[in-house]
Amino acid sequence: DIQMTQSPSSLSAYVGDRVTITCRASQSISSYLNWYQQKPGKAPRLLIYGASSLQSGVPSRFSGSGSGTDFTLTISNLQPEDFATFYCQQSYNTPPTFGQGTKVEIK
Amino acid sequence: EVQLVESGGGLVQPGGSLRLSCEASGFTFSSYDMHWVRQGSGRGLEWVSGIGIAGDTYYVGSVRGRFTISRDDAKNSFYLQMNGLGGGDTAVYYCARKVAAEDAYDIWGQGTMVTV
Split chain A (107 residues) into runs of 10 and give each run's mean pLDDT: 98 97 98 97 98 98 98 96 97 97 95
CB contact under 8 A, A98 and B44: yes
Instruction: Output the pLDDT for position A64.
Output: 98
Provide mean pLDDT across the span B53-67: 97
Tell me the pLDDT band of B2, cut-offs 50, 70 and 90. very high
Say whether residue B50 is in contact with chain A using an 8 A CB cutoff. Answer: yes
* Three-class secondary structure of residue B29 per DSSP: helix
Partner-chain residue, chosen from B46, B99, B111, that has the shortest CB–CB distance to A43: B111
Rounded mean pLDDT, B82-105: 96
Confidence (pLDDT) at A34: 98
- Return the residue of A nearest to B99 by Cα: A49
**Beta strands B67-72 and B57-59, pairing class:** unpaired
**Paired sense of beta strands A53-54 and A33-38, if any:** unpaired
Q: Which residue has the higher pLDDT, B42 or A79?
A: A79
Q: State chain A's mean pLDDT as an integer.
A: 97
Chain B's closest residue to A45, CA to CA, is B106
pLDDT given for residue A79 in this prediction? 96
Q: With 90 as the cut, is the pLDDT of residue B7 above it?
A: yes
For A24-78, give the DSSP string. Answer: EESS--TT-EEEEEE-TTS--EEEEETTTEEPTT--TTEEEEEETTEEEEEESS-
CB of B99 within 8 A of CB of B54?
A: no
Looking at residue B42, its pLDDT comes to 84
Q: Using a CB–CB cutoff of 8 Å, tell me whether B56 touches chain A.
A: no
In this prediction, residues B102-108 reach a mean pLDDT of 96
Pairs across A and B, CB distance < 8 A: 58
CB contact under 8 A, A50 and B103: yes
Check pLDDT > 90 for residue B81.
yes
